[in-house]
Amino acid sequence: MIYFGAAYYPEHWPEERWPEDIRLMKEAGATVTRLAEFAWATMEPVEGQLDFDWLDRAIDLLVENDIDIVLGTPTATPPAWLTQKYPHTLAMDEYGRPAQHGLRCHYCVNSPEYHTLSRQIAGAMAQRYGQHPRVIGWQIDNEFNRICYCPRCQARFRRFLKEHYQTLDELNTRWSTAYWSQKYTDWEQIPFPSPTSGHNPGLLLELRRFVSDSYRRFQAVQIEALRPHLRDGAWITHNYMGWFDAFDHYTLAEDLDMASWDCYVRTGHHDRTTQAVVHDLTRGFKRKNFWLMETQPGHVNWASINNMLNKGEARVLAWQAIGHGADAVLYWQWRSAYGGQEQYHGTLIDQSGRPRPFYEEAQQLGKDLAAVADLLGGTEPAAQVAILNDYESRWSMSWQRQHRDFDYVTHLLNYYRPIAERNVPIDVISADASLDGYRLIIAPVLLIMDEKRAQALADFVKAGGHLILTVRCGMKDRANALLSARQPGPILAGIAGVEVADYNILDEPVPVGGGWLTGQSHQWAERLNVLDEDVSVIARFGKSNGWLDDQPAITVSSGHNGLLYYVGAYLDEEAQDVFIDHVLKTAKLKPPFDTPAGVEICPRTNAEGKTAYILINHERDRKVVSLPWKAQEHLGKQTIDGTLDLDAYGIAVVTKAN
C-alpha cells in the first residue's frame, strides 16, 4: 500500500485532546503517523526514569483508529538534564564554543557518552515497542547535519587518517604537502579545518569522509540497539534532506533498510524537475522505493518567503513523489503547537484545534490513495537511464569551483531536466553502483576517477551501452590530487578516443556548433584532442578567445560496441534539448506515450510486469492527453477510450484496460 499521514506530537497536547486529533486524522484518511522523534525529555524526564505510559496510550488510540506508527529515536533533541550533566555531549563549533541547548542536533556525533545515552534510549524504546504489530518502522534521529570540532573529534579524525594512510610519508605524498610547507612530521600537527576553509584539497576530502564515517558509526550504535528487539518486517530508516551534502549519503544508507527524505518547496512554487530529481536521488540510496517522511502542508516557516502553495499544488507534489517511488507521504506537521520555534509552519489542524482549509486537500489525497492502495502496492519505477551522482566529486568541485556560478547540482540538472521532461524515467545512482541493465549512463562532473570507476564505465560501453562524460570528468584521484594524465584519464581517454587538451573557464558564453547542433557553452569549455579515427566531432567551439576557436567541443566514439560522448561544453538549455533528443533517439529511449507539455507520466510496475501510469498535470490549465490504448482510470473509476482530461494540477492513475 501507499501510506499517508503526518508527524504528530501528542506530548504537546493535553491527553483529553488526543481522541479528537486522532479522529480528525482518521477522517483525513491517515494510515500512518510518526511519533516521538523529539520527545526524549517526555520519555525520560529524569535520568534513568523512563515514562512510556503516555506513549502507550497515544499508540493505543492510534491503533484503535487503524493508524500505523513509525517511531523516531529522539536523539536529535536530548533533554536539558542530559546536556547539563554531560556537557561533553554538546557539539563545538570551529572556534571551540559549545552549542546551546534548545535547538536540534546539538550533540557531538563522536561523544562516547552520547553514544551510550542514545543506545539506552533507543534500546528502551525498542524493548517496549519493537514487537508491537502496528509499529511498522523506525526513524533514527532526525536530519543529521552538524559537524563537531571538539578536541575528541579532532583526535578521532587523526586516528581515522592514520588507519587510512598508515604512515605520514604516504599522507604527505598523497596530499602533496611539500606545497606551502604543509609537510606533517607528527599526526598531532594535522589541522581540523572547516570544509569551507579553502584548506588542502586532500585534507578536506578526508574530513568529509570522516564526517560520513562518524554519522555512520552513530547511526550504527542505534541500529544495534534497535534491531535485536524489532519484529520481522519492521524497517529502519533515516530522513535525509535532499541534496544536502555534509556527508556521503550512500555510505550511511548502506546500513539502513530503506531511505526516506523530507521534501520542502520553501519559497515560490514547485518545479517539476528539481523535485523529481531528489526523489530519484533518494530512491537511488538503496535502489528501491523510499518514504516521503515529511512534506509541507501548504507552507513552511523558515524560508525567505513562506508563501502558501497554490490550491492543488501539494497534491501534485504528493503524487509526483509516489510516481518516483515513494511508498508513503507524511505531512509535517499535524497540528500547530502553541509555542516552540515552528509556530507559523503549515499544518492540517490549526491552533484552535480545527481543520485548516488545507485539510480538505490532504483528505482528498487520503481518499485517492485508498482507491489505488492495491493497484500501487508492490510496484516500483524502472529506468533504463542512470545519472551518476558522486559526493566526493561534488565536494571537490565545490571547494574549487573556478567559476562562482558553476554548481554541481545545477549542472546535473542540465542533463536530468530534458530527459525528465520527455517522460523518460531516470535513476540517480552512486557512481560506484552496478551499471547493469542500463542503456544510457550520464556521468556529470565525475571528477574523481579511479581505475575501478573508469573500468566499469569502459566495460559498460564495450558491452554496448551509451555513455556521456561531461566537462570536469576524470580530473582527480581518490586523494583529491590531479591525475597524472589528461582528462578523462588513461582508461576512458582510450575508449572516448579523445583527451582534454585544456579547460577554459569562461567569463562569457562561447558559440558551439556542428551539423545539427547550435548553441553556446557557458562557464566552462574543454578543448578536445581527437586521438582516434572512430571519433566523430559533433560540435566545435566557434570564434571566441582564440584558444578555443574551431576546436572540437563535443565528440562521440563508436569504436567499442556502444557509444561514448565526450561533452566538453556546458550547453545552454535549448542546445541541450537538441543534444539530448539526439542521444535518446540514438539509444532508442522513448516515453511510454506522448503527452502535452507540462504533463508527466510516472510508470510504476509490479513483479508480474503490470504497469500503472500516474499522470500529473503540473500546470494550472486543463490538459487533454491522448492515450494509445483503452484504459482504466482508477481515481475517477472510469474507462477511457481515446482522450483523458486533466484539470489544473489534475492527477490520473491509468492502466491498460483488459
Interaction site with ligand GAL (CB under 6 A): 142-143, 262, 264, 294, 300, 332, 342, 345
Give the number of residues written for the chain: 658
Q: With respect to ligand GAL, which residue has the nearer C-beta, 243 or 264?
A: 264
Least CB distance to ligand GAL at residue 15 (A): 23
Of 628, 629, 623, residue with least CA distance to 652: 623
Shortest approach of ligand GAL to residue 341 CB, angstroms? 8
Contact at 8 Å (CB) between 593 and 627? yes
Using the minimum distance from each CB to ligand GAL, give the nearer residue, 13 or 264.
Answer: 264
Which residue's CB is nearer to ligand GAL, number 91 or number 441?
91
Cβ closer to ligand GAL: 145 or 400? 145
Nearest CA-CA partner of 400 in 467, 360, 367, 447? 447
> Minimum distance between the CB of residue 618 and ligand GAL, rounded to whole angstroms?
22
Least distance from C-beta 571 to ligand GAL, angstroms? 35
Give 262 or 327: the residue with its C-beta nearer to ligand GAL: 262
Residue 263 or 413: the one with the smaller Cβ distance to ligand GAL is 263
- What is the CA angle 143-616-582, rounded to 5? 95
- The alpha-helical segments, DSSP class H, found in 178-256 are 201-226, 249-253
CA-closest candidate to residue 242, choices 210, 221, 271, 203: 271
Q: Cβ closer to ligand GAL: 272 or 345?
A: 345
User: What residues pair up with 651 in beta bridges, in sequence order?
Assistant: 616
Compute the distance between CA of residue 346 and CA of residue 317 in angstroms, rounded to an integer.
Answer: 15
Going along 296-433, which residue ranges are E strands? 326-331, 385-389, 426-430
Nearest approach, Cβ of 306 to ligand GAL (angstroms)?
A: 10
- DSSP 3-state of 216: helix
CA neighbours within 13 Å on the CB side: how many for 379?
23
Closest distance between ligand GAL and the C-beta of residue 342, in Å? 6
- In angstroms, what is the minimal distance from the CB of 262 to ligand GAL? 5
Side-chain half-sphere of 49: how many Cα atoms within 13 Å?
5
Neighbouring-strand partners of residue 379? none
* Residue 295 Cβ vs ligand GAL, minimum distance, rounded to whole Å: 9
11, 94, 113, 143: the catalytic one is: 143
Cell of 388: 551518476
Short-list 109, 101, 100, CA closest to 41: 101
Residue 395: other Cβ atoms inside 10 A: 24
User: With b meaning 16 or more CB within 10 Å and e meaning fewer, what string describes 480-509?
Assistant: bbebeebbbbebbbbbbbbbbeebbebeeb
Catalytic residue among 37, 206, 294, 526: 294
Q: By C-beta, is 301 or 626 nearer to ligand GAL? A: 301
Chain residue at closest Cβ approach to ligand GAL: 300
Name the residue type at position 121. I
Which of 420, 261, 427, 253 shows the shortest CA–CA distance to 329? 261
Task: Supply the minimum distance, in Å, between the C-beta of residue 294 and ligand GAL.
Answer: 6
Active-site residue flag, 143 = yes
| CA distances for 57 relative to 18, 19, 52, 75, 154, angstroms | 10, 11, 9, 22, 44
The answer to whether 271 and 618 have CB atoms below 8 angstroms apart is: no
Nearer to ligand GAL, 223 or 300 (CB): 300
Residue closest to 412 by CA, chosen among 570, 241, 285, 289: 570
Burial category of 641 from C-beta neighbours within 10 Å (exposed 0-12, middle 13-18, buried 19 and up): exposed
Q: What is the smallest separation between the CB atom of 343 and ligand GAL, expressed in angstroms?
A: 12
DSSP 482: B
Q: Output 7 or 493, the one with its CB closest to ligand GAL.
A: 7
Query: Could you list the active site residues?
Result: 143, 294
